[in-house]
Amino acid sequence: MPRKIIIDTDPGQDDAVAILLALASPELEVLGVTAVAGNVPLALTELNARKICELAGRPDMLVFAGCAEPLSRKLVTAEHVHGRTGLDGPVLPAPTMPLQSQHGVDFIIETVRKQPSGTVTLCTLGPLTNIATALQRAPDIADKIQEIILMGGAYFEVGNITPTAEFNIYVDPEAADIVMKSGIPVVMMPLDVTHKALTTRARIDAFRKLGTPVGTAVANLTDFFERFDMEKYGSDGAPLHDPCVIAYLVKPELFKGRNINVEIEITSDLTLGMTVADWWGVTDRSANALFVGDLDADGFYALLAERLARL
């Protein structure tokens, strides 16, 4: 029985690879894709989500627009990483598939209520605004959500948008705080693990060698996406953050983590959006997340190439 998921996303080149991986994996049933403002504004993230679904040959996929702004702060975007369109690299055709008229938050609420309790997993690839808004509007769904697998946070790896905060959490720290205090089982994929999932020339060439429109597009997406991080970190590739969320559901044995308490800084200007991970258990705060710190990077990229070849 495939695992039912909703993908909440702010595409974003790495989001795009994550969505393609999900749509290529028979272990998963994608009930819908909800876009959120993050890397670029909502009008672009919802458009990009539809472009990616059509690239995957899935114009039937339900794509929704969610929240255009964080709960209580001004939107911070990341065009410097993802380009003006949010999906710079390949030229993808304008989508012909429709955007659903229902608000993404209402789709999340309605779907969790309609499906048998404990059978819907939320895979979040961007700021947590849609999820937090859904929990505020419909507190009853917290007990019905099976698990949240989220890309976000950083501890030993420190921040990427400020010295202490990772982008997805920083854009909407209040939303992240609501999610981390919701009682819903959380698997957190922080920069601590995604920075070990670096693209390399060989890994991007493996995508290009697929010789398919998807392989070529993914090679062009990652070619563009890696330039910023390579310059910033002097590394020989860029972290492919969001596909870690999907790969965890398909092949969890690729990852290693620890059940710990993670809280979000929401008051200090200096460390706003920091994920304070009690890795050594020095507080009496109860564990609320599997904080993933390591992965088998070669196995991760082999899975990606094998699955993308199926599209």
167 binds, among Ca ion, ligand RIB, none (CB under 5 to 8 A by kind): ligand RIB
> How many binding residues for ligand RIB (CB under 6 A)?
15
- Label residue 140 exposed, middle or buried (CB < 10 Å: 0-12, 13-18, 19+): exposed
Shortest Å distance, C-beta 304 to ligand RIB: 16
Nearer residue to Ca ion within complex by CB, 197 or 260: 197
Q: Are strands 145-151 and 186-189 parallel, antiparallel or unpaired?
A: parallel
Nearer residue to ligand RIB within complex by CB, 144 or 192: 192
Q: Annotate 194-251 with DSSP letters as a single string.
A: HTTSB--HHHHHHHHTT-SHHHHHHHHHHHHHHHHHHHHH--SS-B--THHHHHHHH-
**Residue matched to tokens 């974003």:** 12
Q: Which amino acid is at 188?
A: M
- Label residue 271 exposed, middle or buried (CB < 10 Å: 0-12, 13-18, 19+): middle
Using the contact rule CB under 6 A, the part of the chain among 62-70, 115-123, 162-170, 285-293 near ligand RIB is: 162-170
8 binds, among Ca ion, ligand RIB, none (CB under 5 to 8 A by kind): none
**Residue matched to tokens 């922080």:** 190
Site for Ca ion in 88-127 (CB under 5 A): 125-126
Nearer residue to ligand RIB within complex by CB, 147 or 229: 229
Contacts of 191 (CB under 8 A, 6+ apart): 153, 154, 157, 158, 159, 160, 166, 239, 241
Q: Are strands 120-124 and 145-151 parallel, antiparallel or unpaired?
A: parallel
Q: How many helices (H) and strands (E) does the chain have?
A: 12, 10
Binding to Ca ion by CB under 5 A, coded x per residue (else -) over 2-21, reads --------x-x--x------
130 binds ligand RIB (CB under 6 A): no
Binding to ligand RIB by CB under 6 A, coded x per residue (else -) over 46-85, reads ----------------------------------------
- Of the candidates 272, 240, 246, 79, the residue with the CA atom closest to the CA atom of residue 175: 272
39 binds ligand RIB (CB under 6 A): yes
8 binds ligand RIB (CB under 6 A): no
Nearer residue to ligand RIB within complex by CB, 167 or 291: 167
List, by residue number, the catalytic residues. Answer: 241
278 binds ligand RIB (CB under 6 A): no
Nearer residue to ligand RIB within complex by CB, 160 or 222: 160
What is the H or E stretch that residue 29 is in?
strand 28-35
Shortest Å distance, C-beta 103 to ligand RIB: 21
Which positions lie near Ca ion, rule CB under 5 A? Answer: 10, 12, 15, 125-126, 242
* Interface contacts to ligand RIB, rule CB under 6 A: 10, 12, 14-15, 38-39, 125-126, 151, 160, 166-168, 241-242
